Structure 1
Amino acid sequence: MTMFVGLATSYATAMALTIRESPVVAVAELIIRLTPGAIAEWLISIVGQLDKPLLIIGIVAFLVAMGALAGSLARHSVLKPVLVWVVLALIGGAAVMVQPGASVVDVLPVLVGFVTWLVVLSALSKPLVTERDHPELESRERRVFLMVAGVFGLAAVGIAGAGRVVGRGRRHVAESRRLLRLEGVTRPLAPTDTTIGLPGIAPWQTPNDDFYLIHTAISVPTIEPKDWTLRIHGLVDRELVLTYNDLVARQLTESWMTLNCVSNEVGGDLVGNAWWSGIRIADLLEEVGLDPSADCILQTSEDGWNCATPLSALIDDRDAMLAVAMNGKPLPIEHGFPVRTIVPGLYGYVSATKWVVDYEVTRFADVSAFWTDRGWSEEGPVKMASRIDVPRSGDDVAVGDVNVGGLAWAQHTGIDTVELSVDGGEWQPAQLAQTPSEDTWVQWALTVSLDEGEHELRVRATDNDGLEQTGVRRDVLPDGATGWHTIQVRAT
């Protein structure tokens, strides 16, 4: 109970001071940063996108358990429970101070929570020690009860008020996004020949609400466009600082691009295709002038996450951009509003920085980045992949002709052919839909004849350079999964 009061007042203080992260969130983000890549990938494979909520629940449960321990120790000693809380407060304070841009003010919620806990624990502990010898102190118990009830009431009010502050901040940004009008951004009109016409295949254009969402932020940054800036510095001739208005006043480029996460398993759905609008990064880098020794850009997000992106992928002929719109609308908050980086042909862990605020032109040898520090490879080019969407593995299908279809992708190279094998037999070519560029996925379909019984279907692709997709199964770590997507069906 005392721990709950301490946590509540700590959270309320953080929100009242408009500190973006409470101590619990700061600890959670510190744990994420310290978790090795292999362990992080294993946990994600088990719980998926529930990893962050479960982490928060685990931290709160641990704190409640520590609070119970401190309360038990308080029956016999004053020093021991205080030591428990001092250790927890130091951990919380350290987690807060290592956050990007942290100051002494950010530690205040930890101190307020600690002091509140001391007051409440002291009030609750005294009657437990004295009532055996002084049962007449009933009035003191009443006073203690009223004081504790008052603290709980204030904590509840604080949480409610803090929740309104947080909600109000997000609502303000959401309203700014809703009212934003971006000149030059057009609504997407997917070419009709990009769809193969087989029901069950994922849509060629992925709606914003269905687009996969991967990030390390426990608390999603909310940035008003008027407050956003991007600094480009490092190994450049001229440093450049752009405001949001500076950025969107420039010439916009728009294109269809497929993005996928390096954590995508063979046949997985951490991939999506959208109409992106933004400003070409190559133009900005030409403006600042690049040192010939530079080979990467260290991108940093508002929440401190960073990645090192190969410079070659930002200045070649692909449409690497600072995106401001997705499918004809300003970026969703969760997908990086107001500005994020998009680089076709690279996995997101080395390129797709949401809420981006800093570009440092540098060298791979001189920097470290979030995921590469955890065992992932340095440059992260997308691996060619294909998957079967129809039928699903384990489905029952009718004996005879069966329609099979799915998607394939090899961004910045493009898909030339897709083939299907039944029960390890000869590879049969599939029909491909059209694509507007090599940076998007392609739908494919064909009809196969199945006899009664169990069957195994597997798919492979070949890209426009003539490279055939490997059938060797490899895990997502360190640079993306490989292997042919294989399913089992039963014809009846």
Structure 2
Amino acid sequence: MDGRAGMWRLAGLVAGLTGLATSYTAAMVLTIRESPVVAIAEAVIRLTPGPVADFVIRFFGASNKALLLVMIFLIVSLVFAALGTAARTRWWAPLAGYSVLALLTAAAVLLQRGSGPVDLLPVVIGYLTWLVVLALLVTPLRRAERAAREPARPAVPTDVPPVGSPAAAQGRRAFLVRALLVGGAAVVVAGAGKVLGSGRRAVEETRRLLRIEGAGQTPPPRGSSLGVDDIASWQTPNDEFYLIHTALVVPAIAPVDWRLRIHGLVEREIELTYDDLLARERTEAWVTLNCVSNPVGGDLVGNALWTGVLTSELLAEAGVLPGADAVLQTSEDGWTCGTPLEALTDDRGAMLAVAMNGEALPIEHGFPVRTLVPGLYGYVSATKWVVDLEVTRFADFSAYWTQRGWGERGPVKIASRIDVPRSGESVPAGNVAFGGVAWMQGTGISAVEFSVDGGPWVPADLGRVPSADTWVQWAGTTEVAPGDHLVRVRATDSAGNVQTDVERDVLPDGATGLDEVDFTTTDTTDTAAG
């Protein structure tokens, strides 16, 4: 067997396993998810046909998942070694092969429920690590092979041919030293990832087991859902709720370590522990949240049941001093937002939320405590992992997003969205169904209308809502002839304000305009006849 070929295989294996080690550590530190290898295993499980899965479970029992992980590890190790061998003669082969592996892994990660762009970072980090390490290892091997092709010149004339090139031997020694150092570093990195990730997973386990008394006792109102397929669910599940934050590493705060300080222009400073907060009287409300970055017709909006403690009661206890008009909120990760004082002290129900849809807040949504202020965009109100509330004046500070050109106070705007039909969808001509959601927190929606091809506005049916702070489902039908069409929607709030058709970008304080969807209707009679 060619010993030099074995070194190329070793280079591919070490580079690949080092990439896996760094991606594992990145997953432990940056997310609360498992490593990319586990994501692949979960994708395999989901895609395995039922009869095959049943056979595996019966044959291997409780060890079937562990066996799957071992098999995946062995397979990718063989692939890494093969790519190392390929690098000997075709430099592009390992690049192409590993790129395919990275894309497949990214797809597996995105198949996980609730995954987002940050969950792809471990894959990217592992891929880049592999590129660097492979280049580091193959460089001395290439030098050794070039030297081996050039016969060594003996220092003293002799009839005995040279055994080998000193330069080639030196290159192989350099490779072995590098491989040993990189392999050792990979072990250290993987071990560090396990240690660093254990704390985050301990917090997640604490959160999972935490039961907040009284949370989830308010069911959706009867009639909130109109029963139309493909309209967004009136209650947004936690793992489908939109997620926007600036934290590269999501804070993982154990409840026992959480503290909230209320200070500034107050008569008395307050510091609360998590137990202090849970010991207070709690409130529960259905509230729709939407992001200021949500474009017209976008999906950065969701509706959930929130449980928490009213900020109005806490600020009343602190005693707000005259002259204050704002509260500067600060997150554990340093993010800040400025909230109008009246929004936290009036009767709209602003709260320090501890539960979402009946369970303790998910870590990525602010566990253990976040703020929630109906009627304001999240960038001026919804602080995840909140640890500090400073009563102050807008004139005395500039918060994270206002420093970047966004509006100071951020009240929500009337909005509506078409969910049915989807853009570009083909539906049977005739009595066509339309539907979607509309919202205007704090005021509520009184009417929704839709128009096809610039025709008359058709009133839609509305679902029931528990308050003015949630979105409402809307649905309706109208006769549509075969062909290509465009439908628009508009909402009217409970104060009589009609949603504007003037188009504005999300910057500086939220988008305006009417959502519209193009669709096609087909003559089913002609289709059947054909």
Q: Counterpart of 1:167?
A: 197
Give how far 1:19 is off: 9.1
Q: Counterpart of 1:106?
A: none
Q: Specify whether residues 363 and 66 from structure 1 end up closer, same or farther in structure 2 by C-alpha distance, changes over 3 A only.
A: farther
Number of corresponding residues? 411
Give how far 1:343 is off: 0.7
Question: Runs of 5+ in structure 2 lacking a partner?
Answer: 1-10, 32-114, 156-164, 523-530
Q: Counterpart of 2:452?
A: 422
Give how far 1:68 is off: 11
Question: Runs of 5+ in structure 1 lacking a partner?
Answer: 22-48, 72-119
Letter in 2 for 1:476: V
CA distance in 2, matches of 1:142, 1:67: 16
SS at match of 1:198: coil
Paired residues for 1:59-70 under 5 Å: none
SS at match of 2:223: helix
Q: Counterpart of 1:237?
A: 267
From 483, 488, 491, the equivalent of 1:453 is 483
CA distance in 2, matches of 1:299, 1:229: 13
From 253, 260, 272, the equivalent of 2:302 is 272
Letter in 2 for 1:339: V
Q: Counterpart of 2:419?
A: 389
Q: Counterpart of 1:37?
A: none
Given that 2:263 and 2:391 are in contact with CA atoms closer than 8 Å, whether structure 1 keeps it comes out as: yes
CA distance in 2, matches of 1:142, 1:488: 64
Q: Counterpart of 1:176?
A: 206
SS at match of 1:193: coil
Q: Specify whether residues 480 and 56 from structure 1 end up closer, same or farther in structure 2 by C-alpha distance, changes over 3 A only.
A: farther
Give how far 1:167 is off: 2.8
Q: Specify whether residues 343 and 136 from structure 1 end up closer, same or farther in structure 2 by C-alpha distance, changes over 3 A only.
A: same
Letter in 2 for 1:184: G
Q: Does 1:154 align with 2:179?
A: no
Residues 317-351 of structure 1: CA deviation (Å, up to 9, x unaligned) = 11110000000000011111111111111111111
CA distance in 2, matches of 1:62, 1:173: 30
Given that 2:218 and 2:284 are in contact with CA atoms closer than 8 Å, whether structure 1 keeps it comes out as: no
CA distance in 2, matches of 1:68, 1:188: 57
**What TM-score do you get using the length of structure 2 for normalisation?**
0.70
Q: Specify whether residues 237 and 141 from structure 1 end up closer, same or farther in structure 2 by C-alpha distance, changes over 3 A only.
A: same
Q: Specify whether residues 53 and 275 from structure 1 end up closer, same or farther in structure 2 by C-alpha distance, changes over 3 A only.
A: closer
Residues 128-169 of structure 1: CA deviation (Å, up to 9, x unaligned) = xxx999965777666644432332122111121122123311
From 333, 336, 344, the equivalent of 1:306 is 336
Given that 1:188 and 1:327 are in contact with CA atoms closer than 8 Å, whether structure 2 keeps it comes out as: no
CA distance in 2, matches of 1:141, 1:389: 63
**What TM-score do you get using the length of structure 1 for normalisation?**
0.75
Letter in 2 for 1:363: R
Give how far 1:354 is off: 0.6
Letter in 1 for 2:446: D
Q: Counterpart of 1:295?
A: 325
Given that 2:224 and 2:465 are in contact with CA atoms closer than 8 Å, whether structure 1 keeps it comes out as: yes
Q: Counterpart of 1:219?
A: 249
CA distance in 1, matches of 2:125, 2:216: 45
Letter in 2 for 1:472: V
Give how far 1:51 is off: 5.8
From 243, 249, 255, the equivalent of 2:279 is 249
CA distance in 1, matches of 2:22, 2:323: 47
From 199, 223, 232, the equivalent of 1:202 is 232
Letter in 1 for 2:390: E
Paired residues for 1:52-451 under 5 Å: 52=118, 136=166, 144-451=174-481
CA distance in 1, matches of 2:311, 2:494: 26
SS at match of 2:418: strand
Give how far 1:447 is off: 1.1
CA distance in 1, matches of 2:269, 2:174: 61
Q: Counterpart of 2:69?
A: none
> Quick one: percent identity of the two aligned structures?
58
SS at match of 1:156: helix
Residues 400-425 of structure 1: CA deviation (Å, up to 9, x unaligned) = 11111111000011001111112112
My pick for the range that moved more, 152-161 or 314-323, is: 152-161
CA distance in 1, matches of 2:170, 2:485: 77
My pick for the range that moved more, 144-153 or 318-327, is: 144-153
CA distance in 1, matches of 2:237, 2:265: 38
CA distance in 1, matches of 2:347, 2:117: 37
Give how far 1:218 is off: 1.3
Task: Detail structure 1 runs of 4+ shifted over 6 Å in the superposition.
Answer: 18-21, 53-69, 131-135, 137-140
SS at match of 1:309: strand
Q: Specify whether residues 199 and 475 from structure 1 end up closer, same or farther in structure 2 by C-alpha distance, changes over 3 A only.
A: same
SS at match of 1:402: strand
SS at match of 1:394: coil
Given that 2:22 and 2:190 are in contact with CA atoms closer than 8 Å, whether structure 1 keeps it comes out as: no
Q: Specify whether residues 51 and 11 from structure 1 end up closer, same or farther in structure 2 by C-alpha distance, changes over 3 A only.
A: closer
Given that 1:187 and 1:327 are in contact with CA atoms closer than 8 Å, whether structure 2 keeps it comes out as: no
Q: Specify whether residues 359 and 228 from structure 1 end up closer, same or farther in structure 2 by C-alpha distance, changes over 3 A only.
A: same
Rg comparison, structure with higher value: 2
